[in-house]
Structure 1
Amino acid sequence: MRIDAHQHFWKFDPIRDAWINDGMQVIRKDFLPQDLKPELDKKQIDGCIAVQADQSPHETRYLLELAEQNPWIKKVVGWVDLNAEDIDAQLELYASEKKLAGFRKILQTLPPEAMDDPRFLRGIGKLSKYGFTYDVLIYPEHLEKAYEMIVRFPDQPFIIDHLAKPNIKNGEFEKWSEGIQKIAELEQVYCKVSGMVTEADWKNWKQADFIPCLDTVTEVFGTKRLVYGSDWPVCLLAGSYNEVFDLVYNYYSEFPHSEQVGIFGANAQRFYGIGE
Structure 2
Amino acid sequence: MIIDSHQHFWKYEPVKHAWIDETMSVIRKDFMPNDLKLVYEANGIDGCVAVQADQTLEETDFLLELASKNEFIKGVVGWIDLRAENVDDLLQQYESYKQLKGFRHIVQGEPDPNFLLRPEFLRGISKLEAHGFCYDILVFPHQLGAVLEFVKRFPNQKFVIDHIAKPYIKDGFYDGWAMLMKAVAEQENVFCKLSGMITEADFNTWTPAQITPYMELVLESFGADRVMYGSDWPVCLVAGNYAKVKTLVTNFVEGLSHHEQDAIMGDNAVKFYDLK
CA deviation profile, 1:168-196 (whole Å, cap 9, x unmatched): 11211000001100000000000000000
Distance 1:21 1:206 in 2: 23
> Aligned equivalents of 2:172 and 2:19: distance in 1?
25
Q: Distance in 2 between matches of 1:20 and 1:58?
A: 20
The aligned counterpart of 2:140 is: 139
Which residue is 1:2 aligned to? 2
Partner of 2:263: 262
Task: Report % sequence identity.
Answer: 51
Letter in 1 for 2:76: V
Q: Partners in 2 of 1:93 and 1:176 — Cα distance? A: 37
Q: Distance in 2 between matches of 1:115 and 1:244?
A: 30
How far 1:114 sits from its partner (Å)?
A: 1.0
SS at match of 1:82: coil
Partner of 1:198: helix, strand, or coil? coil
Q: Residue deviations 1:13-58, cap 9 Å, x none? A: 0111111112211000000001111111122111000000000000
Runs of 4+ residues over 2 Å off in structure 1: none
Is 1:115 paired with 2:116?
yes
Q: How does 1:211-230 map to 2 (within 5 A)?
A: 211-230=212-231
In 1, Cα distance between the equivalents of 2:135 and 2:51? 11
**3-state SS of 1:154 partner:** coil
Aligned-partner residue type, residue 166 of structure 2? K
1:32 is matched with which residue? 32
Counterpart residue number, 1:71: 71
> Which consecutive residues of structure 2, in runs of 5 or more, have no partner in the other structure?
none
My pick for the range that moved more, 33-42 or 123-132, is 33-42
Q: Provide the TM-score with structure 1 as the length reference.
A: 0.99
Partners of 1:204 and 1:173 in 2: how far apart? 18
Alpha-carbon distance between aligned partners in 2 of 1:44 and 1:215, rounded to the nearest angstrom = 25
* Residue matched to 2:155: 154
Residue 62 of structure 1 is matched in structure 2 by 62
Unmatched segments (≥5 aa) in structure 1: none
Match of 2:12? Answer: 12
Aligned-residue offset at 1:120: 0.3
- What does residue 127 of structure 2 align with? 126
Shift of 1:72: 0.6
Deviations 1:215-246 (A, max 9, x none): 10010000000000000000001010010110
Give the Cα separation in 1 of the matches to 2:40 and 2:237: 15
2:103 pairs with 1:103: yes
